[in-house]
Amino acid sequence: MSKLAVLGGTPAVPRTQRGVEWPVIQDEDRKAVLDALDGGRLVSDTDGETPVTTLERQWAERFGHAHCVAVTNGTAALQLALASLGVGPGAEVIVPALSFIATGLAPLHNMAVPVFADIDPVTFNLDPKDVERRITPRTAAIIPVHLHGAPADMDGITDVARRHGLAVVEDAAQAPGATHRGRPVGSIGDMGAFSLQVTKNIPTCGEGGLLVTGDAGLAETARRGRQFGEVIESGKDRDYVSHQLGWNHKMNGLQAAFASAQLGRFDHYEQARQTNITRFLARLDGLPGLTVPKPLPGTTHVWHILRFRFDPAAAGLPGITDTAFRKALRRALRAEGVPMSQYQLMPLPDQTAFRDRLGFGRGYPWAALEPSAEHVPEHVPADSRAEYPVAHAVIRDSLTIQKRHLSPTSGELLERYAEAFEKVWENLDTVAKLAGARS
Ligand SMILES: *Cc1c(COP(=O)(O)O)cnc(C)c1O
């Protein structure tokens, strides 16, 4: 049994092997950006093919979406999707209690109120039963997130949405390429949002987002909303007439060109990622007290982030709390060279903007839900632990390995990570001491 690195032993992952390249930038990416720069199509007020329209077409074709509208980033895509569906002041939007902050901010950006629902303990995605419990006459939409690259239970969510007449906007920022019963995520609901931010599975060289939908009318509304409410018609000069509320959410042509080049290599990368990660997880699956991520049956997981849950009792350490176990494992695994981290330190409803209702003006948009109230509604903090027990438990007893370490070129590195886990599990008595000393 080798000595743990946290006690001065040799780390399982040699320091010289820890570097990971992401995004992978090759000559064709550089050429794509330079060609776009020299191509004279840097603005979207011109008709015909531009790097942005090329990316929209390629994205729609590759994943099987009827319509694709490129925007500045994933958060803008979520906001514009809700706006295109008419979700605004007075409306509530149900979002998962575990996600990136943008999922909860997007309703606020439209003056609608995010309402949080608890998650499923296995997929970490919206629990349709808890969604149903939170529906009120003001609920207008649901935003299921395909968190970490795992499709949410779209059967359950679609069923709830249909029965209550709610719109569904999929937050697929972490899940391009994931499928649910053979259908691409993003187009199962009314609209879907993707992010091309540089850490995501298909990166651009900065920021970018895409909105997809199967509905031509919604796509047209989003297209106008992206550009000041204007209609940009092929073959005609821009007339600067605005037909609806609009924003400036136009994607930059250089970002689009880079993303197109990356999209061209995506299938190759995705195959490598599936092979590497399936092998890695299979190797860890038998360790007692460790739950590895698993996709729902009938879905493809695209492994944006790997979340591992830890159960001290199942690991044979019944006297240790889950928090103490997580902290000790984090210390031990990081010392071995595995970059374990927490993805989200708290459930979304505990983030300041939502907890303290920091919106616009005198308590809006929450105040808009009670237009007759003379005063801004007093905020009574909900008991978040009782309201979202699963989200709290998952944050307490899990750690993640994030995208940048799951690059398609990380096959060898993941083998070393597996050795580190095995080594730590051989030394659980030491982990117990670490946990005891720190709890
Ligand atoms: C990254 C991300 C977003 C936002 O995308 P940006 O392009 O960074 O604005 C939204 N939701 C989730 C789940 C994300 O991971």
Give the tens place of pLDDT for each residue, 242-253.
999 999 999 999
- Say if residues 21 and 405 touch (Cβ distance below 8 Å): no
Beta carbon of 100 within 6 Å of any ligand 1 atom: yes
**Count of CB atoms within 10 A of residue 191's CB?**
29
The ligand 1 atom at the shortest distance from the C-alpha of residue 196 is: 7
Is the distance from the beta carbon of residue 255 to the nearest atom of ligand 1 less than 6 Å? no
* Dihedral, CA of residue 385, residue 386, residue 390 and residue 393, to nearest 10: 40
For residue 140, is it left (φ>0), alpha (ψ between -120 and 50) or beta? alpha
Q: How confident is the model at residue 48 (pLDDT cuts 50, 70, 90)?
A: confident
User: What is the per-residue pLDDT for 373?
Assistant: 53
User: Tens of pLDDT along 186-202?
Assistant: 999 999 999 999 999 99
Span 355-376, average pLDDT? 78
Encoded amino acid at 301, one letter: H
365 closest CA partner among 90, 151, 178: 90
- Residues 432, 295 contacting (CB under 8 angstroms): no
Statement: residue 152 has pLDDT above 70: yes
The stretch 208-231 carries a mean pLDDT of 97
User: What pLDDT score was predicted for residue 438?
Assistant: 44
Q: Which domains does the chain have, with CATH numbers?
A: 5-19+266-344+389-438 (3.90.1150.10), 27-264 (3.40.640.10)
Q: Which of 88, 64, 414, 370 is nearest to 362 (CA)?
A: 370
Cβ 52 vs Cβ 39: under 8 Å: no
Written as one letter, the residue type at 417 is Y
Q: At which residue do the structure tokens 């795992």 appear?
A: 150
More confident residue, 65 or 439: 65
Q: Indicate if ligand 1 lies below 6 Å from the C-beta of 145.
A: yes
Nearest to 295 by CA among 177, 429, 421: 177
pLDDT above 60 (res 92): yes
The tokens for 223 are 């297209």
Phi, psi of 303 (to 5 degrees): 55, 55
Residue-level pLDDT at 371 = 61
Residue that the structure tokens 């499709």 belong to: 151
pLDDT of residue 6: 96
Counting residues of the chain whose pLDDT is more than 70, the rounded percentage is: 96
Distance 166 CA to ligand 1 centre (A): 23
CA 109 to chain centre: 18
Q: Which two tokens stand for residue 376?
A: 């801004």
Beta-strand (E) ranges in 206-245?
Answer: 209-213
Q: How far apart are CA 211 and CA 289, in angstroms?
A: 40
Residue 40: per-residue pLDDT: 80
Q: Is the pLDDT of residue 69 over 60?
A: yes
Given this model, what pLDDT does residue 21 score?
Answer: 86
Pairwise CA distance, residues 419 & 284, whole Å: 9
Round to whole Å and give the CA distance between 373 and 243: 34
- Residue minimizing CA distance to atom 14 of ligand 1: 173
Cα(424) to ligand 1 centroid in Å equals 33
- Lateral strand order in the sheet of 113-117: 67-71, 209-213, 191-195, 167-171, 139-142, 92-96, 113-117
Q: Ligand 1: which of 75, 105, 249 to mutate, judged by most atoms within 8 Å of the beta carbon? A: 75
Q: Which residues pair with 192 in a beta bridge?
A: 170, 212
Question: CB of 15 within 8 A of CB of 422?
Answer: no
> Ligand 1: does its nearest atom lie under 6 Å from the Cβ of 75?
yes
Looking from the CA of residue 200, the nearest atom of ligand 1 is: 1
Q: What is the pLDDT of residues 385-425, one digit of tens each?
A: 999 999 999 999 999 999 777 888 888 999 999 999 999 99
Q: What is the pLDDT of residue 233?
A: 82
| Positive or negative torsion for Cα 77, 81, 84, 87 | negative
Q: How far from each other are the two terminal CA atoms of the chain, in whole angstroms?
A: 26
In this prediction, residue 439 has a pLDDT band, given cuts at 50, 70 and 90, of very low
pTM given for the model: 0.96
Q: Is the CB of 99 under 6 A from ligand 1?
A: yes
Which tens digits make up the pLDDT trace of 302-338?
999 999 999 999 999 999 999 999 999 999 999 999 9
Give the pLDDT score at 91. 96
CA distance 351 to 66: 36
What does the alpha-carbon distance between residue 121 and residue 396 come to, in Å, rounded to a whole number? 12
By mean pLDDT, which of 17-26, 206-215, 317-326, 363-372 is the weakest? 363-372
Model pLDDT, residue 155: 97
Return the sign of the alpha-carbon dihedral for residues 169, 269, 307, 436: negative
> Does ligand 1 have an atom closer than 6 angstroms to the CB of 173?
yes
Mean confidence (pLDDT) of the chain: 93
What per-residue confidence (pLDDT) applies to 45? 60
Distances (CA, A) of 409 to 11, 270, 271: 21, 11, 11
| Residue 170 contacts residue 221 (beta carbons within 8 Å) | no
Q: What's the one-letter identity of residue 342?
A: Q
Strand order in the sheet with 306-310: 290-291, 306-310, 398-401
Distance 196 CA to ligand 1 centre (A): 9
Q: Would the pLDDT of 35 be above 60?
A: yes
CA of 76 to the centre of ligand 1 (A): 9
Helix or strand (DSSP H, E) at 83: helix 74-84
Q: Is 379 a residue whose pLDDT tops 60?
A: no
Kindly tell me if the per-residue pLDDT of 46 is higher than 50.
yes
**Position 99 pLDDT exceeds 90:** yes
**What's the CA gap between 218 and 141, in Å, rounded?**
15
SS3 content of the chain, % helix, strand, coil (to 5): 40, 15, 45
Using a 6 Å cutoff on CB, does residue 79 contact ligand 1? no
Phi, psi of 68 (to 5 degrees): -140, 130
CA–CA distances in Å: residue 70 to residues 87, 96, 125, 195, 337: 20, 25, 26, 10, 38
Confidence of residue 345 (pLDDT cuts 50, 70, 90): very high
Q: Which of 335, 328, 25, 59 is nearest to 176 (CA)?
A: 59
Q: Residue 381: what pLDDT?
A: 59
Q: Confirm or reject: Cβ of 204 under 6 Å from ligand 1.
A: no
Structure tokens at 180: 């649910």
